[in-house]
């Protein structure tokens, strides 16, 4: 009772608790573990609870050494300063999806932390299976029972007190999305103790589990070893709270990956705290092989240990749920009523189309005006730079490399933010799962889960957010296959290039050619997804997924997460994009000692390579190089090399500010009008450029050029997104793959049309 | 591949609905959709039909995934919807709504309830 902040109750209420929570409760003084791990099934409301407990300060980062997104927050609570770590949702600790694989090592590395198991009261029986698994880890834990109100509305009244009594750990009813029950969670955290394992396994298994428990870091690992569920590839690992320190018998194990044996706390914590840590160590592999020999030695050879263990857990969870639930008259699940319309076999396809179109429309219609606004700001900045009394090279560097580069990066903010907000909303509302369900038949044909339809559709707008959205897929191999196929789908930046070139070379067939290009892009993407299936190996995942109940997500939380994700992307992709822009600027600007520009020299050197495509003119080859920054740059550089560049107009301070103001008004206006209308604005092709271009290449060459532009190296931002999600080697692979595919397809196109 | 095949013997072992003891069972010949069957795979059920899960067969990864999602012996399962042309099934298992592809749904063997149930009432836990 000596919390310094609690001596004065008013101070405590002001400083100890999270916003809007009375922290001046007696529990304020009891200390609680400094790190809380939120564990629960997907969509259970873990993030909402973190947000409710911490008030604000939510952060997003990757789990060390992985690309798995983990949210965390620091909070000053009545019981001390706490870091809340929101682990990815999982149905079991033994899950094999990349997100699920983070769970066990995270918990294992931090045995004295608190496990906050968030349980969905509407799926109590199923969620308690995970709870029972967690009790076997022997870590201090509490259970936050979420959605009790919704369960009650469906006729199931869940009694937290009964559950607490049976489980032996604090159980608190919360409403995570509105933040009720937070002070109770804080109070429960300070009285959390390590639970006793409470699943009773069949006697023949129990004996084996006891033997394995002697060498395992905890009971969960012992059971997993017997069930053949041990994550063998992962370093298993951690110090054990040994209840029988004298009986350790695994000192002989000689292994690379070692498991330090844990010392007991909990019931015997006083003596345990002083007892030396037992140094017996055992590796995950040793444990797994011990589990295998126990399996082989089971008295009843026909007994399947995994099924028997799963069944014992489910029975225990079911009994717990039965005891804690009073079932009354049940109203109809409102989600089912909605599903009857949305998932109707006749209406469904329209719902699917409408869902995809809405996502696409809002993502790009809401962000486009702001991209245009940022473009105007960029132009004004470049204009101001013109007026500075600097040498020409410095002016060029500032406007051509610095402003251009920062502009390229910042231009992604509106798109990414809008996309994350919309996807976050649809995901939490339960809509995305339905879209995936409706698209599943279609996507199964190309060997992908239904969810993959979203990245593919978003890719029509911009490849970068599409690659980011592959996170929605459970399996890493699926994510990779989709992400590496996406660059072939024509994004909106490629459309102006097609329009210009088609108008210049095949004016009478422009529409047909452009449609053809879109079809080619999709065909190549789908064929790529097929090809990568064999290249990257089959995934071991299952397409089965939950269709969560429809819910109105907390909008502020969704927006906050969208901003955090956008920021995380800029932080990791900004640097590479800037470097690429500066490199292209240098290429275009710098001169060789002889007087020729670096750009022309490089382009002329590359030109023979492109002759088989009908693109022998160095000016066209040259225009493709800066196109690697962004495909629409191809037009600008074609204009530069064929007609000479347009000079940036110098701007005064006042006129510049006026221009920015006008652009801002336009953007606001555009956002509002985009809510109900969607006009894809394409600049009218430049007649003079078209005329000059048609002299430089044949029709066949022009089609080859369009096909090449469609398929070659995705823009630097796409590459940065691939690098962020999958690493540098896959980014390099993507560069090589797209170049090869583009070259091959353009060659074919030239042969056919040339 | 079946989860519980004895090496060599090819005998399939399954889980009883009420417990953990496996039983020998080659008795379930897989029926086709619409059949009147004792032990039907979920895929053979029409919309609105349901029953209790008797056992799960199939590859371990499928069984593990189904168990994790809440489809397990003695769970009440109903087919609430199908998408056309062999697409996935919308299944309610206990209180959980799931999308199952036909390859997964065909591994869920059901003891069918008599008559057609009202498919849209939440069952007891």
Cα A326 to Cα A324: distance, rounded to the nearest angstrom? 7
Interface touch A332/B125, C-beta < 8 Å: no
What is the CB neighbour count within 10 angstroms for residue A249? 12
pLDDT-derived band at A731 (thresholds 50, 70, 90) equals: very high
pLDDT tens track for A102-149:
888 889 888 889 999 999 999 999 999 999 999 999 899 999 999 998
Name the residue among A709, A706, A746 with its Cα closest to residue A513.
A706
Interface touch A450/B88, C-beta < 8 Å: yes
pLDDT tens track for A224-233:
989 888 875 4
How many Å lie between the alpha carbon of A123 and the closest alpha carbon of chain B?
6
* Whether A203 contacts chain B with CB within 8 A: no
Burial B2-11 (b: 16+ CB within 10 A, else e): bbbeeeeeee
Chain A partners within 8 Å of B25 (Cβ): none
Backbone angles phi, psi at A614, to 5 degrees: 80, 20
pLDDT tens track for A329-363:
666 778 888 888 888 877 877 877 887 787 777 77
pLDDT tens track for A579-626:
888 888 888 788 878 777 888 888 888 889 998 888 888 888 888 888
> Is the pLDDT at B6 greater than 80, yes or no?
no
Cα A377 to Cα A542: distance, rounded to the nearest angstrom? 48
Interface touch B63/A307, C-beta < 8 Å: yes
Name the residue among A403, A374, A369 with its Cα closest to residue A386.
A403
Interface touch B104/A325, C-beta < 8 Å: no
How many Å lie between the alpha carbon of B72 and the closest alpha carbon of chain A?
8
How many Å lie between the alpha carbon of B112 and the closest alpha carbon of chain A?
21
Average pLDDT, chain A: 80
The percent of residues above 70 in pLDDT, for chain A, comes to 84
pLDDT for the residue numbered A267: 30
- CA A312 → CA A384, B18, B19, distances in Å? 73, 11, 8
Interface touch A546/B97, C-beta < 8 Å: yes
Mean pLDDT of the A488-509 span = 83
Interface touch B124/A311, C-beta < 8 Å: no
How many Å lie between the alpha carbon of B20 and the closest alpha carbon of chain A?
5
Backbone angles phi, psi at A543, to 5 degrees: -85, -10
pLDDT tens track for A362-373:
777 888 888 888
Q: Which of A95, A122, A311 sits opposite B95 (nearest CB)?
A: A122
Q: ipTM for the complex?
A: 0.76
Interface touch A441/B20, C-beta < 8 Å: no
Chain A partners within 8 Å of B78 (Cβ): none
pLDDT-derived band at A668 (thresholds 50, 70, 90) equals: confident
Name the range with the highest mean pLDDT among A491-495, A520-524, A570-574: A520-524
Mean pLDDT of the A403-417 span = 84
Chain B partners within 8 Å of A324 (Cβ): none
How many Å lie between the alpha carbon of A91 and the closest alpha carbon of chain B?
6
Q: Which of B99, B102, B117, B123 to mutate to test the interface with A (most CBs of A within 10 A)?
A: B99
Helix (H, G, I), strand (E, B) or coil at A520: helix
Interface touch A544/B100, C-beta < 8 Å: yes
pLDDT-derived band at A650 (thresholds 50, 70, 90) equals: low
* Whether B20 contacts chain A with CB within 8 A: yes
More confident residue, B23 or A380: A380
pLDDT for the residue numbered A84: 93
Q: Is A215 exposed, middle or buried (0-12, 13-18, 19+ CB in 10 A)?
A: buried
Write out the DSSP string of A229-267: ---TTS--------S-GGG---TT---SS--BPPPP-GG
> Is the pLDDT at A426 greater than 50, yes or no?
yes
* Whether A447 contacts chain B with CB within 8 A: no
> Is the pLDDT at A311 greater than 70, yes or no?
yes
How many Å lie between the alpha carbon of A336 and the closest alpha carbon of chain B?
6
∠ CA A37-A41-A45, nearest 5°, is 70
* Whether A223 contacts chain B with CB within 8 A: no
pLDDT for the residue numbered A578: 84
pLDDT for the residue numbered A282: 66
Interface touch B98/A440, C-beta < 8 Å: no
Q: 296-315 in A: which are within 8 Å (CB) of B?
A: 301-304, 306-308, 310-312, 314
Interface touch B101/A444, C-beta < 8 Å: yes
Interface touch A441/B66, C-beta < 8 Å: no
Least confident of A8-17, A157-166, A222-231: A8-17
> Is the pLDDT at B31 greater than 60, yes or no?
no
pLDDT for the residue numbered A634: 81
pLDDT for the residue numbered A163: 93
Token pair of A175 as six digits: 């409403």
Q: Which of A126, A320, A338 to mutate to test the interface with B (most CBs of B within 10 A)?
A: A126
Please state the pTM of the whole predicted model. Answer: 0.78
pLDDT for the residue numbered A249: 35
pLDDT for the residue numbered A330: 67
Chain A partners within 8 Å of B67 (Cβ): 310, 314
> Is the pLDDT at A703 greater than 60, yes or no?
yes
pLDDT for the residue numbered B30: 46
The percent of residues above 70 in pLDDT, for chain B, comes to 59
* Whether A445 contacts chain B with CB within 8 A: no
* Whether A330 contacts chain B with CB within 8 A: yes
Backbone angles phi, psi at B100, to 5 degrees: -120, 130
Mean pLDDT of the A271-294 span = 60
Cα B68 to Cα B70: distance, rounded to the nearest angstrom? 5
Cα A289 to Cα A294: distance, rounded to the nearest angstrom? 9
Mean pLDDT of the A522-535 span = 87
Q: 152-191 in A: which are within 8 Å (CB) of B?
A: 154-156
Q: Which of A43, A304, A339 to mutate to test the interface with B (most CBs of B within 10 A)?
A: A304
How many Å lie between the alpha carbon of B17 and the closest alpha carbon of chain A?
10
* Whether B85 contacts chain A with CB within 8 A: yes
> Is the pLDDT at B118 greater than 70, yes or no?
no
Chain A partners within 8 Å of B60 (Cβ): 306
Name the residue among A355, A426, A464, A334 with its Cα closest to residue A725.
A464
More confident residue, A632 or A215: A215
- CA A445 → CA A439, A441, A463, A475, distances in Å? 10, 7, 23, 18
Mean pLDDT of the A712-734 span = 89
> Is the pLDDT at A745 greater than 90, yes or no?
yes
Q: Which of B15, B20, B98 sits opposite A547 (nearest CB)?
A: B98
> Is the pLDDT at A376 greater than 90, yes or no?
no
Chain B partners within 8 Å of A123 (Cβ): 70, 94-96
Interface touch B97/A547, C-beta < 8 Å: yes
pLDDT tens track for B43-92:
888 888 888 999 888 888 888 889 989 898 888 898 988 877 678 899 99
pLDDT for the residue numbered A171: 94
Beta bridge partners of A333: none
Q: 110-149 in A: which are within 8 Å (CB) of B?
A: 122-126
pLDDT for the residue numbered B27: 38
């Amino acid at each position: 009772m000596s919390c310094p902040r609690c001596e004065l109750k008013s101070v405590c209420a002001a400083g100890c608790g999270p916003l809007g929570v009375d922290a001046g409760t007696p529990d304020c003084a009891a200390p609680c573990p400094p790190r809380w791990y939120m564990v629960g099934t997907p969509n259970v409301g873990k993030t909402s609870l973190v947000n409710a407990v911490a008030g604000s300060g939510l952060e997003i980062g990757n789990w060390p050494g992985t690309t798995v997104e983990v949210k965390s927050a620091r909070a000053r609570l009545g019981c001390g300063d706490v870091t809340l770590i929101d682990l990815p949702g999982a149905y079991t600790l033994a899950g094999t999806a990349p997100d699920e694989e983070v769970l066990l090592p995270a918990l294992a590395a931090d045995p004295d932390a608190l496990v906050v198991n968030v349980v969905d009261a509407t799926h109590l029986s199923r969620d308690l299976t995970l709870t029972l698994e967690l009790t076997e880890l022997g870590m201090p834990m509490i259970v936050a029972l979420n959605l009790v109100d919704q369960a009650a509305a469906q006729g199931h009244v869940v009694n937290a007190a009964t559950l607490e009594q049976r489980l032996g750990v604090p159980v608190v009813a919360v409403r995570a999305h509105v933040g009720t029950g937070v002070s109770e969670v804080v109070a429960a955290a300070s009285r959390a103790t390590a639970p006793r394992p409470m699943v009773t396994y069949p006697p023949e298994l129990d004996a084996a589990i006891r033997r394995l428990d002697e060498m395992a870091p905890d009971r969960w690992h012992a059971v997993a070893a017997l069930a053949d569920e041990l994550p063998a590839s992962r370093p298993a690992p951690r110090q054990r709270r040994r209840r029988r320190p004298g009986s350790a018998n695994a000192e002989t194990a000689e292994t690379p990956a070692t498991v330090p044996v844990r010392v007991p706390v909990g019931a015997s914590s006083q003596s345990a705290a002083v007892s030396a840590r037992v140094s017996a160590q055992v590796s995950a592999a040793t444990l797994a092989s011990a589990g295998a020999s126990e399996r082989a030695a089971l008295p009843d050879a026909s007994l399947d240990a995994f099924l028997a263990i799963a069944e014992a857990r489910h029975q225990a969870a079911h009994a717990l749920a039965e005891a804690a639930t009073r079932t009354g008259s049940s109203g109809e699940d409102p989600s089912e009523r909605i599903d009857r319309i949305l998932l109707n076999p006749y209406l469904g396809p329209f719902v699917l189309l409408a869902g995809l179109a809405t996502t696409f429309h809002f993502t790009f219609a809401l962000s486009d005006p702001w991209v245009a606004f940022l473009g105007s700001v960029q132009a004004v900045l470049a204009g101001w730079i013109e007026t500075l009394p600097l040498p020409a090279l410095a002016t060029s560097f500032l406007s051509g490399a610095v402003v251009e580069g920062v502009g390229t990066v910042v231009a992604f903010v509106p798109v990414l933010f809008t996309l994350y907000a919309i996807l976050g909303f649809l995901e939490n509302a339960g809509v995305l799962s339905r879209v995936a369900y409706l698209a599943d038949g279609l996507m199964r044909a190309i060997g992908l889960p239904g969810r993959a339809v979203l990245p593919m559709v978003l890719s029509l707008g911009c490849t970068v957010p599409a690659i980011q959205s592959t996170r929605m897929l459970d399996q890493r191999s699926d994510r990779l296959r989709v992400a590496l196929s996406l660059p072939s789908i024509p994004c909106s930046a490629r459309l102006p290039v097609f329009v210009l070139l088609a108008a210049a070379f095949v004016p009478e067939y422009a529409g047909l050619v452009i449609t053809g290009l879109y079809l080619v892009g999709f065909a190549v993407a789908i064929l790529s997804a097929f090809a990568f299936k064999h290249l990257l190996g089959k995934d071991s995942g299952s397409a089965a997924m939950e269709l969560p109940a429809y819910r109105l997500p907390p909008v502020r939380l969704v927006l906050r997460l969208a901003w955090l994700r956008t920021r995380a992307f800029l932080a990791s992709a900004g640097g590479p994009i800037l470097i690429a822009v500066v490199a292209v600027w240098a290429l275009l600007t710098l001169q060789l000692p002889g007087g020729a520009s670096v750009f022309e020299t490089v382009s002329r050197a590359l030109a023979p390579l492109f002759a088989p495509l009908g693109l022998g003119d160095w000016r066209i080859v040259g225009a493709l190089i800066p196109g690697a920054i962004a495909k629409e740059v191809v037009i600008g550089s074609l204009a530069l090399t064929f007609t000479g560049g347009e000079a940036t107009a110098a701007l005064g301070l006042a006129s510049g500010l006026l221009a920015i103001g006008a652009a801002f008004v336009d953007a606001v206006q555009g956002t509002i009008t985009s809510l109900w209308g969607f006009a894809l604005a394409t600049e009218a092709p430049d007649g003079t450029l078209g005329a000059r271009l048609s002299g430089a290449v044949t029709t066949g060459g022009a089609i080859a050029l369009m096909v090449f532009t469609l398929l070659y190296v995705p823009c630097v931002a796409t590459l940065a997104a691939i690098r962020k999600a999958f690493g540098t080697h896959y980014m390099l692979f993507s560069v090589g793959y797209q170049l090869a595919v583009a070259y091959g397809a353009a060659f074919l196109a030239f042969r056919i049309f040339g | 591949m079946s989860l519980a095949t004895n090496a060599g013997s090819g005998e399939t072992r399954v889980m009883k609905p009420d417990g953990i003891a496996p039983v020998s069972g080659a008795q379930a010949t897989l029926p086709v959709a619409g059949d009147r069957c004792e032990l039907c795979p979920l895929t053979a059920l029409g919309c609105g039909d349901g029953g209790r899960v008797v056992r799960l067969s199939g590859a371990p990864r499928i069984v593990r995934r189904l168990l994790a999602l809440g489809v397990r012996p003695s769970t009440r399962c109903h087919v609430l919807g199908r998408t056309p042309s062999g697409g996935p099934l919308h299944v309610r298992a206990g209180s959980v709504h799931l999308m199952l592809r036909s390859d997964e749904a065909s591994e869920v063997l059901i003891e069918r309830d008599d008559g057609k149930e009202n498919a849209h009432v939440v069952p007891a836990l």
